[in-house]
Amino acid sequence: MKNISHNTFEKSLMQNLCRYIEAHSDEVLTLEQLAKQTHLSPAHLQRRFKAAIGVSPKEYADSCRLKKLKTGLRHNADASVTNAIYDAGFASSSRVYERVDSHLGMTPKQYRAQGKDVVISYAASKTSLGYVLMGATDRGLCFIQFGDSKKELVAQLAAEYTQASIELMGKTHKEQFTAWMQALSDYLQGHVATLDLPLDIRGTAFQLKVWKYLQTIPAGSVASYTEVAHAIGNPKAVRAVASACAHNRIAIAIPCHRVIRGNGELAGYRWGPERKRALLDLERKTKS
Query: For residue 34, what pLDDT band results from cuts at 50, 70 and 90?
Result: very high
Query: For residue 225, what pLDDT band results from cuts at 50, 70 and 90?
Result: very high
Q: E strands, the chain, where?
A: 119-127, 130-137, 140-147, 165-168, 223-224, 259-260
**Which tens digit of pLDDT belongs to each residue from 49-68?**
887 777 788 888 877 777 77
Low-confidence winner among 96-105, 125-134, 167-176, 196-205 (lowest mean pLDDT): 96-105
Average pLDDT over residues 189-198: 85
**CA separation for the pair 185, 182 (Å, rounded):** 5
Q: What angle do CA 273, 202, 232 make, to 5 degrees?
A: 70
> In this predicted structure, what is the pLDDT of residue 144?
95
Query: For residue 203, what pLDDT band results from cuts at 50, 70 and 90?
Result: confident
3-class secondary structure, 277: helix
> In this predicted structure, what is the pLDDT of residue 22?
85
Domain ranges (residues) in the chain: 2-112, 119-188, 205-287
Asked if pLDDT for residue 3 goes beyond 50, the answer is no
Of 37 and 266, the one with more pLDDT: 37
Average pLDDT over residues 245-263: 92
**Which tens digit of pLDDT belongs to each residue from 103-119?**
444 454 554 554 556 88
> In this predicted structure, what is the pLDDT of residue 35?
92
Asked if pLDDT for residue 32 goes beyond 70, the answer is yes
> In this predicted structure, what is the pLDDT of residue 104?
46
CATH topology of 119-188 equal to that of 205-287? no
- DSSP, residue by residue, 38-69: HTS-HHHHHHHHHHHHSS-HHHHHHHHHHHHH
Average pLDDT over residues 199-205: 81
Please report, rounded to a whole number, the percentage of residues in the chain having pLDDT higher than 70.
80
Please report, rounded to a whole number, the percentage of residues in the chain having pLDDT higher than 90.
38
- Domain 119-188 annotated CATH 3.30.420.40: no
Most confident by average pLDDT, 7-11, 12-16, 61-65, 149-153: 149-153
Average pLDDT over residues 134-155: 92
CATH assignment of 205-287, given 3.40.640.10, 1.10.10.10, 3.30.420.40, 1.10.4190.10? 1.10.10.10
Query: For residue 139, what pLDDT band results from cuts at 50, 70 and 90?
Result: confident
Asked if pLDDT for residue 9 goes beyond 90, the answer is no
The mean pLDDT value of the chain amounts to 81
> In this predicted structure, what is the pLDDT of residue 204?
77
Asked if pLDDT for residue 143 goes beyond 50, the answer is yes
Phi, psi of 114 (to 5 degrees): 60, 35
Find all residues with CB under 8 Å of 221, minimum gap 6, and list them: 258
> In this predicted structure, what is the pLDDT of residue 90?
60
Asked if pLDDT for residue 74 goes beyond 80, the answer is no
2-112 sits in which CATH class?
A: mainly alpha
User: Hey, which residues are catalytic here?
Assistant: 256
